Structure 1
Amino acid sequence: MFSFRSDSRLDSDIYHHVKRHHQDLLNKATEIDNLHNVLQLTEEKISNLSYSMDKVKCKVQVPFESLQQHIIRFRHLQVTAEVLRKIARIALLVKRVQARGSDLSKLSGYLNEIDYLFSSMDWKGIHILESYKRTVDQSREDMINQAWGLINASYELANQAQLGLGLQVFQHFGMLSEVIVELIQKWKTEFEESLVDAIDVEKLTQRVRSRQPKVSGAAGGPGRASLPGSGGQAAAFHVAMWTSLDGTVDRLERFLLHCRLLGLTLLKQRDTVPGAVSIHPVCRIGDSVDSHPSLAELLLDELLQNESRAVSGKLRTTLVLLFTSVHVRSHQLNIDPALFESIPPQSSDPSALLPQQRAAQSVLLDFCTDLKANEGFLGWASDMLSDHLSKAASQSSQIREPLHGEYPKLLKLLLDLERRLRQTQLFSDSDVSNLRLDGAPLTGQPGAQDEQLHQQRQKLPVCILRALSPFETAYLSRSLSRLFDRVAMVFSPTTSSNSSIPDTNDVDGIVQNAVNELAYATVHYDLLYKVSRNVAKMIALFASKVEGLITVGQSAEQCVDAPTPGQQNNIRLVNLLCAFGTQIELTCNRRLRNLPVLKNAPTNDVHSPFDVIQEALKTSLNSLCVSILDPLLRSVGEVVLEILETMHGESFNETEPRNTGSQYMENLKQFVSLVRRQHLSGLTRSSRVGGINTSLSAEPRLARFCDGCFFCGEIALQEAIRPHLRRWIDAFLIHISLVRPLSEAGRMQLATDCVEFAAALNPLSMSNMELSLSELVPEHYIQLCALKPYLITSTEEIVGVFTKPEKTVGPTKLDRCIPPSLICQHLFSRAPAEIRSPHEAVGWSVVQYVKWLQSGRSEAERMAFLRNGLAVYTREVEMRQQREYAPIYLQLRAFLQHQPGDPEKLSRPEPSTTGT
């Protein structure tokens, strides 16, 4: 019942829907009928077209097949003609090759072209070509053998033309890269094998045994003959080792010449044979614009184009080594701009390069980096030398001993190598100057070139210095130990006999040891300079050892009683230091001064080896001599100052001149004579020290004597006493200016004392060397002599000299080298008692005032103190309400007003000196 109702409803819905869309349904049915008719018509037209095409196809097929057959025949004719042309060319070239012409380069070029022709066609099965191929292969083998013969002969004769011809042959055969790699590897192998054999302990020991004659009846048990480190066998072992190393260095020289000749030839030789297949490299070397590339450029192009090949790594290493050996720099590699043509102008990203170009650029950048870091064949050989020698030295004491102990021999081997290389034409000429390849190692001017070569000969290459550095360090350490051991042995208590001070033989032994070390180092300037620094350290050690023997304390300072053993010991030490220094200086000058190694010193070297030694002598020995004598001289100075203070206890106010000299001056003369006789007579005076005549009679001046080491004890005394003499003369001048009351006769006596004072100090100088006070302390001696005229000159004349210097006042010539404060103090001494001395005005004693003046007071401070003393007198006059001043007051006032300072206290009007 339910299903019947649903069907009825569905029918009803369909009916109503068809009724609403009746017209649309009719239209759709009509369109479908029309479309059927159109499709039927189109199908008929397609059938007609297909039938027409079949007819056309039948008409065209026969001509097409005929034309296709003609084309095939034409192609076969073209290939046949090309093959025939190549066969004709091969036949012509084979005939030329078989003619065996003398120009090997052209013949190899012909073979190169023949190989190219064979590679461009399928020749197998063609009997004539197979025959030609066998002939070509045989000729190729013959030419390869001839090329190797040319290369080997060219190294013996240094013939660049032969070497270039042989290399060009291999370039034509496409074997140049393999040949270059093989040559370099062969030289490396031969050098390394030679080096290993030269330091092989077993082989060296067998060589020593074979050279030693057999002794009949001698025991030949195991181990008896295998002791190269004992006795004479050690020396024979060392000789054998140095002989082997000499041969190794000779072989290294030969390989370096070969390598340089090979590099220069690769850079200069160009492939100009017409028949050779031309190649346009992407990288050019130098500024050359030749259309024909050099062999080096072809090798570099091969490296850039074939980086993936197995041989490319070895080729790259070989080219870097060769280019560095002839000083080709990375900035001289010019890239072909075509390599970067594919980069878009808007982009600078390297990733925009084509893969092949990007790979070539990367290879070239790596090549340039390696070129900057490489040091050529010599750098490689130096590294090998350093590695093998260091390894052998660490493993065997028999090898280590000669390498460390006889390092100058190793250095001399390499110096001779460098000298011989520089003397050869290959190294003396400018590197490939016609290509302007080098970064200007030598200038074009002959004078500058000679100077630059001269400078190059003075310094070993950095790679050699780096290889020698550990052995040089070990040798210098041993050298310093030998120098120190000799000094330590001399000062050892077990070797000293009765005295702890070394004798002449000990000093001679130390000096001879030092000179021997310097003589061993004369193979090279730098080594001599470093050994001289060791000698300077040895001198400092000697000085420190002597310093430990110095007697100090009260026993070394007393100067009144007889000399103590400590003082005698100190005098002997001074003589020892002078003898030691003089022996070293004179022996070095005599034995080493004119050696050629010193004449070739670098021009920019400020200090020579002997300057280093001389500076050490002056710094260590001279200063120590002065310090040894200084305590005694200080004590002498204290007594001298005490004696000078006693002059104020004597009267200088007499009206009549004395018949005898001053008592204090007599005491001073006696004391100085006593010191010279008892305490200083032990110092060496003779110009012959240690048996060597110094010949110092010409220009005997202290400046010349003290330019180097003190050559005798007296010279040391003169240098040590100079500051004390200055102080004593200053004190004497001050005391003279402070003496009061003072009459005219007293002033005459003081003037006489000035002369006597110089005579009293004269025993302390070297009269036999014409060294007087005028040479030791010239400025103070001039002041001492200049004070005498002031003492006998009137007050008016003295004041006139300082207030009116442009006028000549009085008949006496007065020198103004004396400080004005000293003259002013003397003028105070001429004043009456009412004008007290400035130091008395402040309650100081003479001793206190002298110490104050000698404590480093400036002239301005002294003048201020004197003005204060005159100001005190002015205030006292005002307090006493005096109507007049002492007559000398105006002269003192005028003197002080004309001196630099602050004369404010003396500038105001003062009462008149005459009564009203």
Structure 2
Amino acid sequence: MASPRVQRMSSAFSRTSSGSPRLQVLASHRSSSLSRFDRESLSENAADAAAAEAASRAAIEEFKNDKIFSKFLVDDFNVTQFASEALSSGSAAASSEKLREGIELLERQLRSEVFLRHDELLEQLSSLKETESVLTVVRAGVEGLQASTQRVRAEIAEPYKHIKTKSRQLASLHDTVELLRTVIRVLKLVKRLHELMESGSATADLAKGAQLYNEIETLRKETDLAGVEVVDDEIPWVLEVGTQIKNEALKGLEKGMEALNQAEVGSFLQVLYNMGELKPTVENLIGKYKGLTVKSVSAALAMKPISSSVGSSLGSGSMQRTNTSQGAGNPRSRESLWQKMGTCMDQLHGVVVEVWHLQRVLAKKRDPISHVVFLDEVMQPGDPMLAERVWETVVKSFATQMKSAFTASSFVKDPFVVGYPKLLGMVDGLLERLFRDTNVKGVPPAIKPEARDQLVAALEPFQTAYLGKSLGRLSELVNSMFPSAVRGSIPSQEQVFRLVSRIQEELDIVKSDVKLTFLVLQEIGEILRLLAEKAEYQTATGPESRQVVGSLTPQQLKNITLSLQLQDVHARVTAMLVGLPSAAIEVLSPSLGSLYGVASDCITTLFKAMMERLENCILQIHEQSFASEDMDAGMGNGCSKYMEDVQKSIMHFRSEFLSKLLAGPTLAITSVSGESISTGLARKLASRVLLFWVRHAAMVRPLSESGKLQLISDMAELELVVGQSLFPVEQLGAPYRAFRAFKPLVFLETSDFASSPSLHELPPTIVLHHLYTRAPVDLESPMQRMKLSPQQYSLWLDAQGEEQAWKGIKTTLDEYAAKVQARGDKEFSPIYPLMLQLGASLDWKSSRLLN
């Protein structure tokens, strides 16, 4: 195996001599002889090499383990640093001696290496000599190769130079031809432009001229024509014509947009497109219109011009004495402000419509040659429409100027707060006109539906202030009706009228705007709740407010007056809601409910006291005997004594109380039942009296034929006095039908009970209680069984209802059956099966007449 150095030399020789057969033979022969030599020398000196290798490793290990010599083995050994450390350690002599010993060790090792590898070194020396002879042969071959290359280069260089020169001449000729062609094309286009401009300036000619100008400019940009005299002479005129065409196109475009003429706008847009100026021109127009909107809003809210105009009309002396706050209250300044605001709305409308018109034409117009839609040329996908961009500027400018005017200028703030509905009406008018004027089928409108919310949001400070003033005006009226919240005072009719009129005015002012109407209704709701609270505080309580035997007390009169006033307000406000959306009623429904509740509470106690008085009078029917066949004794004028008390009480109630309660305004009606609270309570009182009498008349036991006649006579008297003094009985509905059905029931034969149509008009308890009057004595009624007084039993019936009453009746029937069976009787009274049959067949759940 050859040594590494011999292998490298052999490889280099092989690469160098690869181009010469002679060199290849020599290299092969030398390589084989060297390989034999290496194998023999390695076999002879293997032991010595192993020993030398072991000694070298031992020396290296000794150096690594030594703290001084190990420093010499690192890659970044620094001689200066080592010397400095040796001198600073104070043992320089020891270090020097140590280094001397190391040098001697290295020298011994080197001598040993040379001695052990003496034959190998001699071999390497002979190999170098042979290598030099090989390199001489290679050098001769390389020189021959260089000479051949020089000859080839001399044969190829001359044709290459000739071809390169000809190619350069051809490229120059080609550039010259292209330049000449471009010059000729430019000159032709300039000539056509001359002819066109001399022929006239119609829009069609402008479009052609613009196209020619654009082609000339395109050629100039693509090819450097500077220095070509025939072209340079024409360029100033071409540029002048281009400026002239562009100016005429811009003027025509502005006129067409002002006149909203689609044909004109489309023609001049074509001119600008042909010139390559479409997109920058549209951008400039949008910027111009944005500036106009900002300027228009700023001019409308500028205080100084308005003050100057007002001051000039008042005179110089007046102008000096007029400050900003005084100017805000001047009628002329307010009128001037509103006029400027109206002008601003007209200008904004005109700007937005013109931009929308431009947008519409751009969306429809196509280039007749390339068929490109103009709108696609001026907009990128996803960009907002032109009208939307201008409208966004309108909203931002409006919001900024309005906020500044509200915070910094009472001159603008005060009129706009007081006249906020008018300001909102102007905004709505602007939006309505924009929607109407840009509502074209197949074309997006100029503004989106949320545009109103955007502008109204800018007016929010004025809206809040306006609602606050509205609430303040109404609160002031309510507080004046109840000064200092002193108990005992009640408002006058004039004060109530002023409050209702003010509410009507507040609604009339804002009725044109639905959202503002709802906001004002919320303020009105708060006022109605405040009115209800103050009226409730003024309501009289105590025994004097509940007495019904004597004359009308001042406390009762006060409660009646408050109730009628609240009913009047309730009815008039309810009438104001006619024609408004149903949601408006829902806004005021809680407040109207509070007002209705207080108005009802003012007089409910009085009606309850009248009801209790009449019930006590009717309950006296049980103290009178209806069993005698001769009923003339103790009866005067054809009616019972208890009935006389009922009549006297009802007529007293009519003269003292109901005459006041039922004499209120005709508008005092509720939105639900269509009647006043007083009328509704009178109706309930009349219904209760009729049914209460029927209930207890059915309980009269025993009842003779004369007793039946007396009951019917009392019934007629009761119907007459109730109809005349409480409520028309014919309008009572089911209670009156039940009252009328009791008369035939009294005279009905027991055998005909089951088939009588009157049963369906009466509560089941009344029917069954009347049958007790026809039953034997041992069939006790529930009242007798529970040992209750008529009043207690009546209260029990009111509390339990018809179903529980039937259970009580069923219990008495079961007890009666048990008694009969205990006696051993074979038959029951005919009333027993009849009552069981009726109890099972009658509808106990549907009867709620007395509740």
Q: TM-score, normalised by structure 2?
A: 0.77
**1:854-884 CA distances to partner (integer Å, 9 max, x unpaired)?**
11x24331111112122333444566x4546
Partner of 1:370: none
Partner of 1:198: 300
**1:799-846 CA distances to partner (integer Å, 9 max, x unpaired)?**
xx1xxxxxx5xxx65332323332222222222333322222222222
Q: What is the rounded CA distance, in whole Å, between the counterparts of 2:661 and 2:653 in structure 1?
A: 12
Q: What is the rounded CA distance, in whole Å, between the counterparts of 1:492 and 1:86 in structure 2?
A: 98
Offset of residue 321 of structure 1: 4.9
Pick aligned residue for 1:860 from 793, 796, 803 = 803
Gaps of at least 5 residues in structure 2 are 1-105, 198-203, 845-851
Q: Does structure 1 residue 394 correspond to structure 2 residue 419? A: no
Q: Does structure 1 residue 429 correspond to structure 2 residue 440? A: yes
What letter matches 1:780 in structure 2? P
Partner of 1:639: 613
RMSD over equivalenced CA pairs, Å = 3.8
- My pick for the range that moved more, 155-164 or 251-260, is 155-164
Q: What is the rounded CA distance, in whole Å, between the counterparts of 2:400 and 2:759 in structure 1?
A: 76
What letter matches 2:608 in structure 1? R
Partner of 1:160: 262
Offset of residue 579 of structure 1: 4.3
What letter matches 1:569 in structure 2? K
Q: What is the rounded CA distance, in whole Å, between the counterparts of 2:572 and 2:362 in structure 1?
A: 59
Asked if the contact 2:279–2:377 (Cα under 8 Å) also holds between the matched residues in 1, the reply is no
**1:406-429 CA distances to partner (integer Å, 9 max, x unpaired)?**
0122112222212322342xx021
Q: What is the rounded CA distance, in whole Å, between the counterparts of 1:570 and 1:797 in structure 2?
A: 51
Pick aligned residue for 1:728 from 652, 677, 689 = 689
Inter-CA distance 412–45: structure 2 relative to 1 (3 Å threshold): same
Secondary structure of 1:484's counterpart equals helix
Pick aligned residue for 1:671 from 649, 653, 678 = 649
Partner of 2:593: 619
Partner of 1:145: 247
Offset of residue 88 of structure 1: 0.8
**1:55-109 CA distances to partner (integer Å, 9 max, x unpaired)?**
3333333333222221111111100000011001101111122223543223222
Secondary structure of 1:505's counterpart equals helix
What letter matches 1:551 in structure 2? A
Inter-CA distance 864–34: structure 2 relative to 1 (3 Å threshold): same
Q: Does structure 1 residue 836 correspond to structure 2 residue 836? A: no
**1:575-594 CA distances to partner (integer Å, 9 max, x unpaired)?**
433444555566x59xxx7x
Q: What is the rounded CA distance, in whole Å, between the counterparts of 1:816 and 1:494 in structure 2?
A: 54
What letter matches 2:639 in structure 1? G
Inter-CA distance 293–206: structure 2 relative to 1 (3 Å threshold): same
Asked if the contact 2:528–2:592 (Cα under 8 Å) also holds between the matched residues in 1, the reply is no
Question: Who wins on radius of gyration, i.e. which is larger?
Answer: 2
Count of aligned residue pairs for this structure pair: 729
Q: Does structure 1 residue 851 correspond to structure 2 residue 798? A: no
Pick aligned residue for 2:604 from 630, 646, 650 = 630
Offset of residue 298 of structure 1: 2.8
Secondary structure of 1:887's counterpart equals coil
Inter-CA distance 843–43: structure 2 relative to 1 (3 Å threshold): same
Partner of 2:85: none
Secondary structure of 2:653's counterpart equals helix
Partner of 2:582: 606
Offset of residue 634 of structure 1: 0.7
Partner of 2:349: 253
Pick aligned residue for 1:405 from 398, 404, 418 = 418
Secondary structure of 1:739's counterpart equals coil
Inter-CA distance 489–54: structure 2 relative to 1 (3 Å threshold): same
Q: What is the rounded CA distance, in whole Å, between the counterparts of 2:778 and 2:726 in structure 1?
A: 43
Inter-CA distance 48–514: structure 2 relative to 1 (3 Å threshold): same
Asked if the contact 1:228–1:237 (Cα under 8 Å) also holds between the matched residues in 2, the reply is no
**1:345-382 CA distances to partner (integer Å, 9 max, x unpaired)?**
xxxxxxxxxxxxxxxxxxxxxxxxxxxxxx54223312
Q: Does structure 1 residue 559 correspond to structure 2 residue 520? A: no
Asked if the contact 1:645–1:735 (Cα under 8 Å) also holds between the matched residues in 2, the reply is yes
Q: What is the rounded CA distance, in whole Å, between the counterparts of 1:16 and 1:832 in structure 2?
A: 157
Offset of residue 143 of structure 1: 1.8
Q: Does structure 1 residue 322 correspond to structure 2 residue 389? A: no
Partner of 1:299: 378
Secondary structure of 1:402's counterpart equals helix
Q: What is the rounded CA distance, in whole Å, between the counterparts of 1:11 and 1:145 in structure 2?
A: 104
What letter matches 1:722 in structure 2? R
Q: Does structure 1 residue 869 correspond to structure 2 residue 847? A: no
Asked if the contact 2:686–2:726 (Cα under 8 Å) also holds between the matched residues in 1, the reply is no
Offset of residue 892 of structure 1: 5.2
Q: TM-score, normalised by structure 1?
A: 0.72
Gaps of at least 5 residues in structure 1 are 1-5, 274-290, 305-318, 326-374, 433-437, 443-452, 695-703, 767-771, 802-807, 903-916
Q: What is the rounded CA distance, in whole Å, between the counterparts of 1:27 and 1:566 in structure 2?
A: 147
Secondary structure of 1:99's counterpart equals helix
What letter matches 2:696 in structure 1? H
- My pick for the range that moved more, 55-64 or 577-586, is 577-586
Inter-CA distance 625–129: structure 2 relative to 1 (3 Å threshold): same
Partner of 1:310: none
Asked if the contact 1:863–1:901 (Cα under 8 Å) also holds between the matched residues in 2, the reply is no
Offset of residue 125 of structure 1: 1.8
Partner of 1:133: 235
What letter matches 1:631 in structure 2? T
Asked if the contact 2:820–2:828 (Cα under 8 Å) also holds between the matched residues in 1, the reply is no
Inter-CA distance 67–649: structure 2 relative to 1 (3 Å threshold): same
Asked if the contact 1:718–1:765 (Cα under 8 Å) also holds between the matched residues in 2, the reply is no
Q: What is the rounded CA distance, in whole Å, between the counterparts of 2:231 and 2:604 in structure 1?
A: 108
Asked if the contact 1:266–1:296 (Cα under 8 Å) also holds between the matched residues in 2, the reply is yes
Partner of 2:427: 414
Q: What is the rounded CA distance, in whole Å, between the counterparts of 1:495 and 1:550 in structure 2?
A: 11
Partner of 1:359: none
What letter matches 2:390 in structure 1? F
Q: What is the rounded CA distance, in whole Å, between the counterparts of 1:149 and 1:416 in structure 2?
A: 31
Partner of 2:734: 779
Asked if the contact 1:578–1:709 (Cα under 8 Å) also holds between the matched residues in 2, the reply is no
Q: What is the rounded CA distance, in whole Å, between the counterparts of 1:544 and 1:11 in structure 2?
A: 126
Q: What is the rounded CA distance, in whole Å, between the counterparts of 2:663 and 2:795 in structure 1?
A: 35
**1:186-240 CA distances to partner (integer Å, 9 max, x unpaired)?**
222233233223222232211111223x4xxxx9388523365379x62112111
Q: Does structure 1 residue 793 correspond to structure 2 residue 748? A: yes
Partner of 1:534: 523
Pick aligned residue for 2:561 from 558, 572, 581 = 572
Partner of 2:326: 229
Q: Does structure 1 residue 210 correspond to structure 2 residue 154? A: no
Overall identity of the aligned pairs, in % = 23
Secondary structure of 1:834's counterpart equals coil
Asked if the contact 1:556–1:632 (Cα under 8 Å) also holds between the matched residues in 2, the reply is yes
Asked if the contact 2:699–2:769 (Cα under 8 Å) also holds between the matched residues in 1, the reply is yes
Asked if the contact 1:112–1:173 (Cα under 8 Å) also holds between the matched residues in 2, the reply is yes
What letter matches 1:887 in structure 2? S
- My pick for the range that moved more, 168-177 or 145-154, is 168-177
Inter-CA distance 541–230: structure 2 relative to 1 (3 Å threshold): farther
Pick aligned residue for 1:652 from 614, 623, 626 = 626
Q: What is the rounded CA distance, in whole Å, between the counterparts of 2:567 and 2:832 in structure 1?
A: 58
Partner of 1:239: 335
**1:497-517 CA distances to partner (integer Å, 9 max, x unpaired)?**
xx9444443333333322222
Inter-CA distance 653–709: structure 2 relative to 1 (3 Å threshold): closer
Offset of residue 637 of structure 1: 0.9
